[in-house]
Structure 1
Amino acid sequence: MKALVYEGVGQRAWKEKERPGIEQPTDAVVRVTHTTICGTDLHILKGDVPAVTPGRTLGHEGIGMIEEVGGGVSGLAVGDHVLISCITSCGHCDFCKQGMYAHCRDGGWILGHKIDGTQAEYVRIPHAANSLYRLPPGLAPAAALMLSDILPTGHEIGALNGEVRLGDTVAIVGAGPIGLAALLTSRFYSPARIIMVDPDENRLSA
């Protein structure tokens, strides 16, 4: 299969790699149909994430079709159209039971970081039953892809951690994808005003 591979600081390659298979009964293998690039991937390429070693397939966002499921996976089947969560979670550890999936003791942000990621034709997803979500028919792929990381990150880091409340004035610095996700999800809480701040000429002209 083809994959986008980190080759060292400032280096990447679109190359052939062996297709992943089931390693644990809780795994699934997904044929990736849509993926995207995160700012985190750019940090990796700059050498800011030393845990990512040369040879790692990049990417932690995507949607696709399940090609294989391990014997321990329930609720999912071959052929299901699924959203790949950027966070892998076992669903059973103490952190997962508190809803702190990013701190999962056998997961967290591992795709494109500690194991091969989604910028490839196929990806292995550990703890598939708690890390893949079946998509409803008719949902536009580009819209579904935003649910993999960008929209929930803007919601959590922006609206929830920012404690947006009814009648608030909200200032969001940076009108990139995460900033726009924070804008959209802040509106759930009915602030009185939302102010976007960005010096980028391309964004200001849009």
Structure 2
Amino acid sequence: MKAFVYHGPKNMSLDQVSDPKILKPTDAIVRVTTSTICGTDKHIRNGGMPEVEPGRIIGHEFCGEVIETGTSVTKFKKGDKVAVSCVTHCMSCYYCKRGLYSHCVNGSWLFGYKIDGCQADLVRVPYADNGLYLIPDGLTDEDVLFVGDILSTGYFAAENGGIQPGDTVAVFGSGPVGMCAMATARRWGPSRVVAVDIDQSRIDFALKQKWADYGLNPNEVDVTQALKDFTNGRGADVTIEANGFEATFKAAIDAVRPGGTVSLVGVFEKPQVLEMNKLWIRNITLKMGLVPANHIPRLIDLIKEGKLNMKPLITHTIPLSQVADGYDIFEQRRDNAIKVVLKADA
């Protein structure tokens, strides 16, 4: 089969590799029909995640069709159309029982990280009964494509923020994850959602889709002061950092009010400094982590009921055979690229 393989920093190629096989009774083999290129994939490509070993097939956000199941898989059968969680989990270990599915000791964390991923014709899905989700009749791959990662991550970021009705929520980073955080933050009834980014076109896009109510460009305004102006001098009740950059990390902390919450979901390649001599007195809460992807059924229901639609994020759709060009489009933001989708070759 074809697969996009990591051979080391800046060295990835579309190769012919062996088809995956059932290794455990809980496995399923899924024919990938639609996948994406994500920010984490970019970090891997650039050597920012050295844990990824050469020879790894990349990719973790996808939909497909079940073509084979292990003997212990009971919820799915050949021919089922499914969306797939980006993390694998057993549901029975110490961490799974506590809802920390992304730290499952029996799973393998993230597709394309410690196990082979989905930028390929076929993928092995461990613990298939826990990680596959039927695509409802009437919905397409594109409707539910993001539930496995970025939409779940955005929801997780908003959930970690502890948003209360009437809050001001500022999202630092208007990339795909940031926009998913904006869209899902509305489920908690904030009075305003504010998009913060130096790319004005992305702010404008978030405003056009009504995922954000206001946009602030740090190149044009003092973001911290603007958020205080919104809130009678207090600052944002919740800030969400969705970039993984030093500038947005610092800004999200500076902009939150005393007693507020900073929710971090950006992937950081470098250590960050916490100025505890200044922070301890502000009583802020910092929350962070890898998405547990436990809200996929809820997100699919919201999509089915027409209450959530993230398809506008898809700006480019190309065949898997052009995946290398897709990475360049994604990283260079060519033609205002936001999300690049890969379709199975005919």
Scaled to the shorter chain, the TM-score interval is over 0.9
Tell me which amino acid in the other structure corresponds to 2:22: I
Following TM superposition, the consecutive aligned residue runs of length 4 or more in structure 1 with deviations greater than 6 angstroms are none
**Do residues 143 (structure 1) and 143 (structure 2) align?**
yes
Q: How many residues align?
A: 205
* Greater relative contact order (CA < 8 Å, ≥ 6 in sequence): 1
Q: Which residue of 2 aligns with 1:160?
A: 159
**TM-score (normalised: structure 2):** 0.58
Over 3 Å counting, the alpha-carbon distance change for 1:78 and 1:126 in structure 2 is same
Cα displacement (A) at 1:203:
1.4
8 Å CA contact 1:175–1:196 kept in 2: the answer is: yes
Residues 24-173 of structure 1: matches in 2 within 5 Å? 24-157=24-157, 159-173=158-172
Cα distance between partner residues in 1 of 2:6 and 2:196: 33
Question: 1:154 and 1:108 mapped to 2: Cα distance?
Answer: 22
Query: What is the TM-score of this pair, normalised by structure 1?
Result: 0.96
The answer to which structure has the higher helix fraction is: 2
Alpha carbons of 1:14 and 1:101: their partners in 2 closer, same or farther (altered >3 Å)?
same
How many Å apart are 1:50 and its aligned residue?
1.4
Q: CA deviation at 1:151?
A: 0.6
Aligned runs of 1:5-20 on 2, under 5 Å?
5-20=5-20
Structure label with greater radius of gyration: 2
**2:201 aligns to what?**
202
Residues 70-122 of structure 1, C-alpha deviation per residue, up to 9 Å, x if partnerless? 00111111111111100101111121111110111111523101111011000
Give, as a single letter, the amino acid of the residue that structure 2 aligns with 1:93. Answer: C
Please tell me whether the aligned partners of residues 82 and 133 of structure 2 are also in contact (alpha carbons under 8 angstroms). Answer: yes
Structure 2: stretches of 5+ with no match in the other structure = 206-346
Give the CA RMSD over aligned residues: 1.1
Between the two proteins, what is the percent identity of the paired residues?
47
Task: Please state whether the residue corresponding to 2:105 is helix, strand or coil.
Answer: coil
Equivalent AA in structure 2 for residue 51 of structure 1? E
> What is the rounded CA distance, in whole Å, between the counterparts of 1:110 and 1:168 in structure 2?
33
